Amino acid sequence: MKRKFTLFALCALMLMLVLSACGGGAAESQPPQEDESPAVSQNAATTEAPDEPEETPEAPALPTVDPSGAAISIPENVDSVVVLAPSIAETMVALGLEDKIVGYDTQSIGLDGLPSDVPTFDIQNPDVEQLVALAPDVLLLSGLAFQGEETPYQPLLDAGICVICVPTSQSIDGVKSDIQFLAAAFGANEAGEKVLDDLNAELDRLAAITASIPEEERKTVYFEISAAPYMYSTGSGTYLDEMIQLAGGVNVLADQTSWISVEGESIVAANPDVIFTNVNYIDDPVGEILSRDGWAGVTAVANKAVYSVDNMASSLPNQNIVVALRQMVEALYPEYYNAA
């Protein structure tokens, strides 16, 4: 089951709020663990060197800084993790780490692979006392978990719990870095390589399809992430804008930056060839766009070139973005996609 998000719960709200850093809580340094390995003494009376034991490969070092720039000290053995970000939760499942998850945010309810019998928490108003009592080895957060400069998770830091912040990435390269970080943090490097290999292979496959499209055939695109009357979309400098480009489209809002509110008149004036929507909190987002007052003359509306794109795959920047990207390529250029 896929959870439907309300207007600002994880669609527009995530895309607007994740631009901030993880906040004061993630900036709190956590003391590094002291090396408790006993010194190895040598016997001075030994005249012959003992046979040297076979060297065993050392485990990769755990990260000591999280993606927000905060110092962290990850326990060597992590058995319990609370995840308060749907994009991170999906990546943890992809890395085969779902058995470690002992709690997650309410927006992640229904995501494939997550346990169903564990506590859930509101991302922006969590029960901190319950989190402390749960005593996970690690708490994973994104920037959405912080409100301004507040530090809601300080009690967990005070309790010695490792708090890791992975700010929501604004680029596809950032998505890849996040996957690498999470794999390294939980000793799942081999699984991380597999996830990245699959992601890169599909990105390359789709990019190869659109690379052959002549410039004069490339279609202009408006991608709607929140419906009228509170319309939101993306300018340049975001992973979604990169996806539009990889799909062979031209973002009609590329002259603006980041996540933006838009007026209907500006989209009518831009006259996109294709409109994508990932809105899922109204019954018929495509029909709503096709019936908007004053939009009948827009090329995408006149040609009924308005398409729904998977909400989760386009809203959560992780390895699943290729699901949405594949849908976009197929809708934009079916003849090229089907011929590949």
At 116 the three-state DSSP class reads coil
Residue 61 pLDDT class (50, 70, 90 cuts) = confident
Give the residue carrying structure tokens 């509306």: 301
Q: Are 172 and 319 in contact (CB under 8 A)?
A: no
Query: Considering the chain, what percentage of its residues have pLDDT values greater than 70?
Result: 80
Residue 38: pLDDT over 60: no
Q: What is the pLDDT of residue 29?
A: 34
How many residues belong to the chain?
Answer: 340
At residue 172, φ and ψ (nearest 5 deg) are -70, -35
Q: What is the pLDDT of residue 138?
A: 98
Q: Rounded distance, CA 78 to CA 54, Å?
A: 28
Per-residue pLDDT averaged across 240-257, rounded?
97
Residue 128: pLDDT over 90: yes
Q: pTM of the predicted model, to two decimals?
A: 0.83
Q: What is the pLDDT of residue 18?
A: 42
Closest CA to 62 of 196, 187, 192: 187
Residue 5: pLDDT over 60: no
Two tokens at 154? 């300080």
Per-residue pLDDT averaged across 22-47, rounded?
37
Closest CA to 84 of 102, 70, 96: 102
- Can you state the angle between helices 239-246 and 189-211, rounded to 10 degrees? 50
Per-residue pLDDT averaged across 155-161, rounded?
93
Q: Rounded distance, CA 38 to CA 178, Å?
A: 35
Q: Maximum Cα–Cα distance for the chain, whole Å?
A: 94
Q: What is the pLDDT of residue 265?
A: 96
Residue 145 pLDDT class (50, 70, 90 cuts) = low
Residue 164: pLDDT over 70: yes
Burial class (CB in 10 A: 0-12, 13-18, 19+), 101: buried
Residue 146 pLDDT class (50, 70, 90 cuts) = low
* Cβ atoms within 10 Å of 307's Cβ, excluding its own: 17
**The amino acid at 201:** A
Q: What is the pLDDT of residue 23?
A: 43
Residue 52 pLDDT class (50, 70, 90 cuts) = low
Residue 43: pLDDT over 50: no
Tell me what the pLDDT averaged over the chain comes to: 86
Q: What is the pLDDT of residue 27?
A: 35
Q: Rounded distance, CA 84 to CA 225, Å?
A: 22
Residue 302: CB partners within 8 Å, gap ≥ 6?
Answer: 296
